[in-house]
């Protein structure tokens, strides 16, 4: 038996008419090696039935709500679980181009998950050029974070075309507490909540300037520094005081989504890192800065100050690797889109990321967990939805966009004998985080790029993918000078 954490519940409460808090991925597989030469719903359903218990969040579990919303929901095994109810198949019309695939994935990503069932679905997309099959997998962010999503995917995949032997699940079905027990626990936690909330606020106060949007408020940085001194904590590097400028993708988002996919050679990114210094993530951020600069400049919308990027960071270290629930935080950093010279732009990105990482190390990124638990459970859902709805009306822009870098295996994986040729992540856009999200996933020597955007604001994000390719070429040329 397990329960949603306050961070998990925040993703659940973030669901609105225009925001769906699920994350997804698109795998391209060579299905000719599958039994019968084709990847089918029965074949995948059999795989899920055999391995559901191996997933980081067991795929058969559903949510059970606590009466009156007194507490966060619990997980339990769905007694009616049938993998076939979560798996479907569609076909692309000829010629089955990448653009057609992106359009259909955008439509799939617009659809919310049924919160009364286990929070995932899988769609087989047939008819792609080259005889490939695409596998679109969607999971609610309340169930998994990026690392858990990768682990869940790994549970269904193999290291060779020959499927491995999986031991049968002999554990007893997980059952949620009785309604009386849930109400009793909820009332007890509500009574103790003021104390827990006060402790969370005290822990967070010295790092207020790390919370997106607050760092740009006059006086907040001084207050945070003073509190660090009063608590005798070593001072963190002072962040540059910057606010997110207006851009075309920082307007109110709609219901429709556009997506695009691409890839960059990991070896070339490492070549740039060795020549120019920094980390692989610094190179990824610099490539994104250049691509966004080109995209904005082409439209006459390039701000004269840096964009502000939110960068998700996994907190899974040591024992936390196996812990359930979302173990993540955010750090924010300027993105030097305003600097015209490529060398100066790379140096600025590297410096800003270094400052952001050193500050994050000081606070351990705990503000996300602490702030998500400040309000009692019965109020959290209403306040979260109100904040998301109020953000566009009040022109609140804590950040311009999210950029996420998820490390993956550097060897090929197989799905029922079919080689996975690429895996492209698709994340979340909101009015608070911006109508554009760039997520990259390294796999088998490539950095796979997944971009999702509000279709009303960014109708064709494939243009940004093209700019990312050009941006890496620019850095490669710079590194060879």
- Residues 66-92: pLDDT tens digits? 999 999 999 999 999 999 999 999 999
Separation CA 273–CA 475 (nearest Å): 10
Which of 141, 193, 338, 467 is labelled catalytic?
141
Query: Which residue has better confidence, 235 or 263?
Result: 263
Strand partners, 25: 137, 425
| pLDDT at residue 188 greater than cutoff 70 | yes
Query: So where are the chain's domains?
Result: 2-180, 245-410+426-479
> Annotated catalytic, 86?
no
DSSP-derived letter for residue 184 is H
Phi and psi of 212, rounded to 5°?
Answer: -50, 130
- Would you state the pLDDT for residue 326? 84
| pLDDT at residue 271 greater than cutoff 60 | yes
Cis before 348? omega within 30: no
- Would you state the pLDDT for residue 229? 55
Please say whether the beta carbons of 137 and 27 come within 8 A: yes
Q: Which two tokens stand for residue 183?
A: 């109400």
The answer to whether the 2-180 and 245-410+426-479 domains have the same CATH topology is yes
pLDDT confidence of 11, banded at 50, 70, 90? very high
Task: Quote the percentage of the chain above a pLDDT of 90.
Answer: 66
Instruction: Report the range of poorest mean pLDDT among 78-92, 267-281, 357-371, 406-420.
Output: 357-371
Separation CA 189–CA 131 (nearest Å): 55
Q: What is the CA radius of gyration of the chain?
A: 23
Average of pLDDT values for 106-118? 96
Instruction: Report the range of poorest mean pLDDT among 5-14, 29-38, 297-306, 364-373.
Output: 364-373
- Would you state the pLDDT for residue 223? 54
Return the CATH number of the domain spanning residue range 245-410+426-479.
Answer: 3.30.559.30
- Would you state the pLDDT for residue 154? 84
Q: What is the mean pLDDT of the chain?
A: 89
Instruction: Report the range of poorest mean pLDDT among 125-134, 158-167, 223-232, 303-312.
Output: 223-232
Task: Quote the percentage of the chain above a pLDDT of 70.
Answer: 89
Side-chain-side CA neighbours of 375 within 13 Å: the count stands at: 14
pLDDT tens, residue by residue, 388-442: 777 766 667 889 999 999 999 999 999 999 999 999 999 999 999 999 999 999 9
Q: Which two tokens stand for residue 238?
A: 């002072």
Query: Which residue has better confidence, 374 or 435?
Result: 435
Phi and psi of 443, rounded to 5°?
Answer: -155, 125
Mode of pairing for the β-strands spanning 307-314 and 328-335: antiparallel
Average of pLDDT values for 289-296? 98
pLDDT tens, residue by residue, 316-333: 765 444 566 788 888 899
- Which one of 145-159, 210-224, 249-263 scores highest in mean pLDDT? 249-263
How many helices and strands in the chain, by DSSP H and E? 12, 15
Opening angle at CA 23, ends 384 and 370, nearest 5: 40
Of 3.30.70.2170, 3.30.559.10, 3.20.20.140, 2.60.120.200, the CATH number of 2-180 is 3.30.559.10
Average of pLDDT values for 240-269? 93
| 383 contacts: CB under 8 Å, gap ≥ 6 | 375
- Would you state the pLDDT for residue 319? 44
- Would you state the pLDDT for residue 321? 46
- Would you state the pLDDT for residue 310? 94
Average of pLDDT values for 56-73? 92
- Would you state the pLDDT for residue 21? 94
Give Cα separations from 24 to 57, 257, 303 (angstroms). Answer: 15, 13, 31
- Would you state the pLDDT for residue 378? 83
């Amino acid at each position: 038996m397990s329960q949603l954490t306050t961070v998990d519940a925040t993703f659940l409460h973030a669901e609105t008419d225009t925001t769906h808090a699920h994350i997804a991925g698109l795998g391209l597989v060579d299905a000719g090696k599958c039994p019968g030469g084709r990847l089918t719903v029965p074949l995948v359903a059999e795989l899920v039935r055999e391995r559901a218990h191996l997933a980081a969040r067991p795929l058969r579990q559903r949510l059970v709500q606590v009466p009156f919303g007194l507490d966060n929901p619990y997980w339990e095994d769905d007694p009616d679980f049938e993998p076939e109810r979560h798996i479907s198949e569609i076909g692309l019309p000829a010629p089955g181009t990448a653009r057609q695939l992106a359009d259909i994935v955008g439509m799939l990503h617009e659809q919310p998950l049924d919160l009364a069932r286990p929070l995932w679905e899988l769609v087989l997309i047939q008819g792609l050029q080259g005889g490939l099959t695409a596998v679109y997998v969607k999971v609610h962010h309340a169930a998994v974070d990026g690392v858990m999503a990768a682990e869940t995917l790994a549970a269904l995949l193999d290291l060779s075309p020959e499927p491995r032997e999986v031991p049968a699940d002999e554990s007893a079905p997980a059952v949620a507490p009785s309604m009386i027990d849930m109400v009793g626990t909820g009332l007890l936690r509500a009574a103790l909540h003021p104390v827990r909330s006060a402790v969370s606020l005290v822990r967070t106060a010295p790092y207020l300037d790390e919370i997106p949007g607050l760092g740009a408020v006059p006086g907040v940085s001084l207050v945070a520094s003073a509190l660090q001194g009063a608590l005798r904590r070593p001072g963190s590097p002072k962040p540059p005081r910057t606010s997110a400028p207006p851009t075309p993708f920082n307007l109110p988002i709609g219901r429709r989504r556009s997506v695009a996919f691409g890839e960059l050679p990991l070896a070339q990114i490492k070549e740039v890192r060795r020549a120019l210094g920094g980390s692989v993530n610094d190179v990824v951020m610099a490539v994104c800065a250049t691509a966004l600069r080109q995209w904005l400049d082409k439209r006459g919308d390039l701000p004269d100050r840096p964009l502000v990027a939110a960068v998700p960071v996994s907190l899974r270290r040591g024992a936390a690797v196996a812990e359930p629930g979302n173990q993540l935080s955010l750090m924010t950093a300027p993105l030097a889109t305003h600097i015209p010279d490529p060398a100066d732009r790379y140096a600025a990105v590297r410096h800003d990321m270094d400052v952001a990482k050193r500050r994050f190390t000081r606070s351990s990124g705990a503000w996300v967990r602490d702030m998500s638990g400040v309000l009692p459970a019965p109020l959290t859902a209403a306040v979260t939805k109100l904040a998301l709805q109020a953000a566009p009306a009040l022109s609140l822009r804590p950040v311009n966009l999210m950029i996420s870098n998820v490390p993956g295996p550097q060897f090929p994986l197989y799905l029922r004998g079919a080689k996975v040729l690429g895996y492209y992540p698709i994340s979340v856009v909101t009015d608070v985080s911006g109508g554009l999200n760039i997520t990259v996933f390294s796999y088998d020597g490539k950095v796979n790029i997944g971009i999702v955007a509000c279709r009303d604001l960014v109708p064709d994000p494939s243009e940004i993918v093209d700019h990312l390719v050009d941006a890496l070429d620019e850095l490669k040329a710079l590194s060879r000078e």
